[in-house]
Amino acid sequence: MKQTFAINGMSCQHCVGRVEKAVHELPGIKKVKVNLKKQNGVIKFDETETSAESIVAAINETGYEAKVL
């Protein structure tokens, strides 16, 4: 599944890296593309291994505010 997430609070490429690293640590993540300018991320993942809610939680734990678009 491919899903877009709004990610608020990012201000630099370091922020993008933190979000991408946190999401990649989840099981079933295929691809992560975070866009600083658009304040969002497009994530491709296996629904049988992880969920959109788990991805939101992982991003929120890094200190940013995420929600499914």
Q: What percent of the chain has pLDDT over 90?
A: 100
Question: What per-residue confidence (pLDDT) applies to 35?
Answer: 98
Q: Which structural domains are found in the chain, ordered by start? A: 2-68 (3.30.70.100)
Q: What is the DSSP letter of 64?
A: -
Side chain identity, residue 30: K
Each residue of 36-50: pLDDT tens digit? 999 999 999 999 999
The overall average pLDDT reported for the chain is 98
Q: How confident is the model at residue 33 (pLDDT cuts 50, 70, 90)?
A: very high
- Residue 14's nearest CA partner among 62, 67, 69 is 62
46, HSE (Cβ side, Cα atoms, 13 Å): 8
- The residue length of the chain stands at 69
Predicted TM-score of the model (pTM): 0.94
- Per residue in 57-68, pLDDT (tens digit) is 999 999 999 999
